[in-house]
Every structure is written in C-alpha cells, then in structure tokens.
Amino acid sequence: MKKAASIFLILITLLGCQTSKKATSNSSETEKKEKKPYEKIVSESTQTDEGLFKIHTNGEKIYYEIPDSLLYTDMLLISRISKIAPQFGGGYINAGSKTQEQLIQWQKHQNNILLRSISYNAIASDSLPIYKSVESNNYAPSLYSFKIAAYSPDSSALVIEVTDFFTKDIPAISGLSNEMRKEYKVNRLDSDRSFIQSAKSYPENIEVKHEMTYVADEPPVNQSSETISMVMSQSMVLLPKEPMQPRLHDERVGWFTVSQVDYSSEALKADRKTYIRRWRLEPKDPEAYARGELVEPIQPIVYYLDPATPIKWRKYFKQGIESWQECFETAGFKNAIIAKDPPTAEEDPDFSPEDVRYSIVRYVASTTRNAIGPSTSDPRSGEIIESDIIWYHNHLRSYRNRFMLETGAANPEARSLNTPEEQIGEMMRMVIAHEVGHALGLPHNMKASSAYPTDSLRSGSFTQKYGIATTIMDYARYNYVAQPGDENIRFIRQIGPYDHYAINWGYRVIPNADSPTEEKATLNSWIKEKEGDPKYLFGNGYGGFDPTSQTENIGDDAVKASSYGLSNLKIVSKNLINWTTREGEDYEDLQELYGELTSVWSRYIGHVARQIGGVTETLKTADQAGVVYKPVNKEQQKSAMTFMLNEAFSTPEWLINEDILRRIEPVGALERVRSLQARHLNTILSFEVLQRLSEAEAFMGSKTYTSLNMMDDLQNGVFLEIIRNQKIDPYRRDFQKAYVERLGYLLTKEQSSGNRHYSSATEVDADQSDIRSLARGKLVDLKRKLNKSNISDRMSSYHVQDLLARIDLILNPKG
C-alpha cells in the first residue's frame, strides 16, 4: 500500500509539473498571439522603403522596423516647417524654418519603445563619482511611447507603429509655439484633417512629412476658415559613432556654437565649454599638410543645386558656393568645397534632396524675399552634418531695388528696373556666398563694415581689391558712399580678409594637438597676430549700443558715410519716375521703390543716431592691453547731433517729392515724415541712451557729451522757430508734438523690453536716475520759451498754445 501510495504521489506530482509547464507554454503562446505577427504587418500589399531602417506603409498606417543595433544610438531629430500659410508668425517665419532640434535615442522598456530626448548640455567623465549625479539631474524626458507590434523574422529588429506620433499634437515636434497658440487662439488639432504625406528612409536618415491642421479662432489669414494648416518635415539623422574632436570657441572670432557644462572640471565651479560648429575636414595627406602644402580633404563639402534652379542662374549659384575655395586654401585645403549640378536619374537614380548625404541649395517658388543658410550639427562636438541653403524666388527683387536706390547716382548700370544679367548674377553670387558662410559656421559680423576708411570706398583700386567691408558676413550689401564721377568702383560686396582669417582659425588642422585644450595656445596666437587691426575684429551687433557694429552701414565715419549716401539718394529721388516707369503701365513699381527709398533714408539716419550715447566694444582677453568698452568721444557725438538736426529733424523737402507722391497716393506724406522722424527721436531719447550718457559723465565729467548737453542741443534745434519767432510748417509742427510726447514718456513711463535691442543691454531704473529730472527740466524750459514766443502766423500760434496745454497736462496730470 505504501508503495502504491508513493507511486500515486509521484504521478500526481509529475502530472502537476506537466500541467504547470503546459500552462506556462500556453501563456507564452497567448502573449505571442496578442501581438500582430510580422507577416500580418509586412504583407504583399505593404510598401517597404529600406534605408537607415525599414519603413512599412499599410494604407494610412506607418511602421518603423528598428534594428536592435540602433537602439540607444545617438540621432538628431530636426523639425522644420515645410509649408506654411502667408503672414504666419507675422511673416518672419518661412517655409524651411527650423522649430526644434534635439538629440534622441530609441530605448526599449518592457514591451514598449521610448523615444527619449537626450541632453549633452551637462556632461562628466563616467569614471568620476559626480557622473551619477549628472545623470540623475539630467534625466532624459520621453517624447513618446510606442507599443512593440512585432519582431522581424530573425528577431534582429522590432516593429512599431508611428502613425499617431505624427498625427497627434506632440509639442516636441510641433510647428506652433505656446506664444503662437495664444496669439491665434488655437483650440485643438483636427485629427480628421491631419495626416502623413510621406515617409522615406535613406542610408543615414529618415524623412517624414505630415500635414497638421488646427482649429483656431484667429488664424493669421482667412479668419473665417478658423483653420491653420501647415506641413511639418521631421528629419531623423544618424550621428557619427565617434564624435569629431571639437574646437573651443573664442568670442573674438565669430562662430556659431554648441555648449556643454562640464562637471569634470577641477575648477571651483562647473566649467562651461563652448565649441564652434564646423564641417569635419581632415587632410588626405597629413604629412604634406603639416609641411604647408595644399591638400585635399578626405571628405570635401559638396553642395548640389536644386533641380528647380533656373538654368541661367546655376553658374552664379555654383560660383557663390565655390568662392569659399580661396578661404579654405588659406586654411591649407584645396578643393574643399564643391558645387555640383543636380544629377540626372541616369547618373544617380537614388538622388534625393531629402537624403542627408546630400547638401542642397534649394530653389523655392515663393514670393518671400529672403535666403537662409541653416545647417544641422552634432551637439556633442559641433560637427556640421549637412546643410540646405534656401533661396526664395523673389529675393532678388529686393536686391535689384536696393541696387538702384543706393548706387544709381554713381552707377549707370543701376538706373533701370531691367538690371543687366551680369550685375544680377553678381548679386546672386554674393548672396549665396553669404548664406554658405552661415552654413560653414560663420554668424553675422556687423563690425566688419566699419573697418575701412570711408573715403577709401570712393577708390576704384581699393574697392576692387578689398571690397566694401572686410567680410561677406556683414549686412554691407552695396557701396552707397561712392559719388558720381568716381571711377572703377566695386558696388557689390564680396568675400574679404576677415573671411580668410575666420576660416583659417576654425578649419586649419593643428598638428599634434590631440584635444581642444592642446589647440588653445595656437588659436590664441593667431588672434594676437591680428591685434590692433580693425579688419579682423568681430562684433555681432547685439545690444544696440555699439555704433561700429551696425547693419547695412559701411565706412568708419558714420556722419561722412551717411552724408555721401543722402547726397546720392537726392539724385535718385529726382530720377525715380524715369527709372521706374514704362509707357502704358501703372505706377506700382514707382510706389514700391519710393517706399523703399524712405527706408534707405531712415537707415542712413539711424547709422548716425547710434553715435549718440554710443559705446564701442572691442572684445579682448586678459592678456591684451586696454579696455573692452569705450564711450564715443564728445566731438563725434556733437557732430552726430548736428547731422540729426540738419538731415533728420529738419523738414526733408527733397524727400517730399510732390511729382512722385501725387502719382502714388492721395495723402500720406505728413504721417510718413512724422513717423520716420519720431522713430529716430525716440532712439535718441530712450532710457538706454540717456543712461549711457549719464554713466559716461559719472566717469569722465565734462570731457564727454553729457545727457544735458545732448538735450540742450536737441531742444534748441527742434524749436528753432520758437527762438526766432518764425512760422512753423506742418511737418515741424507734427515733429514738435512728437518731441513733447516723448518727454512725457520719459517722465511718466517705465522702460519697456520691447523698446530695447535685446533687452539685457542697458537696464534702467528711471525713477532713481537723472532721466525724470532731465525730462521735467526740459519741459519747464520749453514752457518758458513758448510763453515768450510771439509768432504772427495763426496756425503756428495755435500750435504753440496746444504745446503749452500738453506740457501742463504732463506736468500736472490732475490739474
């Protein structure tokens, strides 16, 4: 019996084990059945695109088949607006504008794949104890979670559906910022009108285009539709397995940058490391390169032209790209940058502008007047991976107009709307060169246009050799200084000595320097070699305080340059009707050109206005003598104020050309002139300028142009008729009202960030400064002079009475 019982127990145990194993096996099979088998997702009707990884399309559903080898691999996700409604973002956001750029990884978590946004802003060596803290305090957010739908037949890859990621309102890849959502009163994304247009896989990138339609109460255009639609382009780019050796940035040489905070530093704080953005150029023959020979790079920078580029412009596009060859030769490389026509289908059947292996100059059929030079770079090292220059079809219209307005007096080839093709081509060549400069890593250098002596710009031999600014990267488009009769003048900008200097500094390989730190001494020595030479200075123009770092100016003497410019503009104004009209056509072109002529006048005035209260900035390190910031000297500021009173604040009779105005408008001259004059008056009478003048006085006393000196000169000039008891014309009456209004603003209002160039430039506590005292004092002075005036002209007399009432209201608002 015991033996039988034992056998029974053994059988029961075995049966139990078999039942348990069978239950476990059934459970596992159930789990497998819960997931769609690979064959059901990838069937005969499925469209599959192979590349970085496979993309499967089943109707409206999109699947990614991601190899295990690409999990936890660094990639870059770039979000751009591909198509957009007119006037979106106030017209300052165009097709091609980048909205997001983030380093991402696909990471597996149980039955899901997480798309994480990885930050390299904070780093530390993984051998140090602080590494764990850096990881804990920089935890990567998950942008989205995808269910694993299947595994590949050999289990080397997993399949996820990504349809919802591109058709839902995901902030991380959206084209609408929070500010825009508020401005346009966006309610929601309409999923019925949002869909994926295309999804393509290339060897090193994935490209998805998806249309997003939002319901909005106040869209930028066609408000009755209550709709904003846009097409977003999402580029996911594989980053190099081994990051390029980065190069440390120095603010004395202008470069676009990436930054990291290094907690491995032995300093008593985290060490911010900033690296320049540049292409990976390595010499094929390092030994020959080290001997100073010109050597080809292993991988040159290659730009292809968009197939849509008009044939007649292609040579100018290619010339603009390859004009940087000479700068790279300065850095020791030959054939470093190459332009190519788009290949035919026979030459390269796989060619696509969306393929990250190809950098493209895109030609966009758009009325936008712009061109941009964006690039995509590795945030770990600053290496530029690819770049698409964008050229909008109508961009040259602005250049043609400016060519006439700024050079027409001295340049016969600019005196027609039918600008010769050779001149248009040269403009196009230089615009492309400018945008390629951005794509090579160079930002705007606004100080470069102040480096050359103003009168040298009237010399043919000088301008043909050196151009009109030291770099193509400034906004110095045309030579408006040259006068009628000056010979052999170069009127269009070109690559200059600073461009050679900057490319050499950023791209020259430094032999035997195996880390960014080992390069630093050599890089510093290159800067020190150019010390004291204005041709090699950098200034980004931020802050609005440095008159030597401005946009659209040329020459080292703003008063002289603007005087030359206005002299030319007066000649152009007299000829504008003849140069812009054709028999049988209306005055549309005349109206456009006259509007732009007033803008050119305003720019010339603005270049001088910046001298008043100006502070020059010369970037230096501690091993260089002298100060970084220096107020503009007293004589220059007084000269600038005299110019402003004569050219800006007096009635510009020549600008009010009745022959032109009565052809293009029934009314508008009074308000136009008032607006232009008030703009420059407000620049001078700003919290920031007055504070800088006061601080200069605190350091230098009467050796500088004080805020009281400035306001005395200004008020006496603005109210000259009151002093002389003369009739005041309508333009002056409007301007004098604007002056009183501005003093009221200074007396009663607070500094607004909207009125400042990059709001951190000059912070002012108006109540605790001299500004209120000055404003009040000048209003009291003016009231006294107005009360003593004795002008016989009735309208002028009424105007004086009105000014007195306005002043009383400002000084005594409660009566």
Inside any domain, residue 556: no
Same structural domain, 9 and 147: no
Residue 429 CA to residue 125 CA, distance in Å, equals 46
Same structural domain, 26 and 174: no
Q: Which domain covers residue 645, as residue numbers?
A: 617-815
Task: Examine the pLDDT at 519 and tell me if it is beyond 90.
Answer: yes
Confidence of residue 1 (pLDDT cuts 50, 70, 90): very low
Structure tokens at 117: 């946004």
Backbone angles phi, psi at 310, to 5 degrees: -55, 140
Least confident segment among 101-105, 249-253, 492-496, 663-667: 101-105
pLDDT tens for each residue of 341-355: 988 888 888 787 778
Confidence of residue 19 (pLDDT cuts 50, 70, 90): very low
Q: What is the pLDDT of residue 262?
A: 67
Q: Angle 690-696-701 (CA atoms, 0-180°, nearest 5)?
A: 115
Contact 392, 366 (CB under 8 A): yes
Dihedral over Cα of 338, 339, 345, 346: its sign: negative
Closest CA to 793 of 731, 740, 722: 722
Residue 670 CA to residue 691 CA, distance in Å, equals 32
Task: Examine the pLDDT at 266 and tell me if it is beyond 70.
Answer: no
Contact 430, 494 (CB under 8 A): yes
The predicted model gives 643-655 an average pLDDT of 96
Kindly report the number of other CB atoms within 10 A of residue 195's CB atom: 14
Same structural domain, 10 and 130: no
Q: Percent helix, strand and coil across the chain, each rounded to 5? A: 45, 20, 40
Same structural domain, 21 and 50: no
Q: What is the pLDDT of residue 128?
A: 55
Inside any domain, residue 636: yes
Residue type, 612: I
Q: What is the pLDDT of residue 224?
A: 86
Same structural domain, 25 and 143: no
DSSP structural state of residue 753: G
Q: What is the pLDDT of residue 374?
A: 82
Pairing of the two strands 359-364 and 375-377: unpaired
Same structural domain, 49 and 19: no
Structure tokens at 504: 């050499």
Inside any domain, residue 159: yes
Inside any domain, residue 681: yes
Inside any domain, residue 547: no
Contact 226, 216 (CB under 8 A): yes
DSSP-assigned letters across all residues of 270-326: -EEEEEE-B----BSSHHHHHTT--B-BSS-EEEEEPTTS-HHHHHHHHHHHHTTHH
pLDDT tens for each residue of 458-505: 999 999 999 999 999 999 999 999 999 999 999 999 999 999 999 999
Prediction pTM value: 0.88
Average confidence score pLDDT of the chain: 90
Packed helices 730-748 and 707-718: angle between N→C axes, nearest 10 degrees: 150
Inside any domain, residue 144: yes
Q: Which residue has better confidence, 456 or 89?
A: 456
Same structural domain, 8 and 112: no
Task: Examine the pLDDT at 755 and tell me if it is beyond 50.
Answer: no
Least confident segment among 237-246, 366-375, 783-792: 366-375
The predicted model gives 55-68 an average pLDDT of 96
Q: What is the pLDDT of residue 566?
A: 98
Domain finish residue from 193, 208, 238: 238
Same structural domain, 6 and 93: no
- Percent of the chain scoring above 90 in pLDDT: 76
Kindly report the number of other CB atoms within 10 A of residue 172's CB atom: 16
Residue 777 CA to residue 780 CA, distance in Å, equals 5
Confidence of residue 220 (pLDDT cuts 50, 70, 90): confident
Q: What is the pLDDT of residue 126?
A: 58
Same structural domain, 11 and 105: no
Same structural domain, 779 and 631: yes
Same structural domain, 80 and 195: yes
Contacts of residue 588, defined as CB under 8 A and 6 or more positions apart, other chains included, come to: none
Confidence of residue 397 (pLDDT cuts 50, 70, 90): confident
Contact 450, 535 (CB under 8 A): no
Q: What is the pLDDT of residue 349?
A: 82
The predicted model gives 194-201 an average pLDDT of 95
DSSP-assigned letters across all residues of 413-465: GGSSSS--HHHHHHHHHHHHHHHHHHHHT----TTGGGSS-GGGGG-HHHHHH
Q: What is the pLDDT of residue 3?
A: 47
Contact 142, 116 (CB under 8 A): yes
Task: Examine the pLDDT at 148 and tell me if it is beyond 90.
Answer: yes
DSSP structural state of residue 579: H
CA 566 distance to own-chain centroid: 29
The predicted model gives 167-177 an average pLDDT of 92
Number of domains in the chain: 3
| Residue 381 falls in which region: left (phi positive, over 0), alpha (psi -120 to 50) or beta | alpha
